[in-house]
Structure 1
Amino acid sequence: MAEEQSIEEILDTIGDKHARRVLAAISREPQSAKELAEECDLSLPTVYRRVELLDEYDLVTDRTLVAEDGNHYKVYESNFESTVISLEDEEYKVRIYREENLPDRFSQLWDELNPE
């Protein structure tokens, strides 16, 4: 997440039943807003609001695809593997685990070791 968000905001977001349905659907496979609306039995505006909300916490990513007719559309996918909520020192903490590939992790480690 680019900015630190409050635990309440994150819990409210993942606590929303429509947001959870959208996350569950895109965790299986990337989908367009139209596909999400059909699968989750939600209106398009509801899907777009939930995707926007999930994007605020960097829980989704999108890619633009081109249809055979030349029109562009976005597909959304989950941007994390798991979430852990823990209680440490009388304070709740949320940790979001993301799948990182090995070259990215090596690059990050190298940058940390050589702060030039």
Structure 2
Amino acid sequence: MSAALWPVVARITAALDKANGRDEHELAMRLLKVGEEAGEVAAAYIGATGQNPRKGTTHGPGDVARELADVIIAAAVALHTITDHAPSVLDAKLHAAARHLAVPNPKGQ
């Protein structure tokens, strides 16, 4: 993961907290933002494959990649909002996923 991820996510979360607070409604909005961004990935991929004959090819692989990055950012902000241990939660989940797929870890973690 980018070394900048969690410090920047903390700044984004703090700005959102200042603007919108951090009540249950705001948490719900941050969770829904993840779904919204995922929908934008789907739309970009449909556009990149030209699946809609009425529109043709409207996006490229770079558009899909940028939308995927937006999903990661939105999910990281939501995770940071719901727990004070976001980096360790993600790290544990990442390593668990790798173990389930029997992906070797060159650092022995």
Instruction: Judge same fold: TM > 0.5, yes or no.
Output: no
Greater relative contact order (Cα < 8 A, sep 6+): 2
The TM-score, its normalising length taken from structure 2, stands at 0.39
Higher strand residue share: 1
State the TM-score, normalizing by the size of structure 1. Answer: 0.37
Which structure's residues are more often helix, by fraction?
Answer: 2
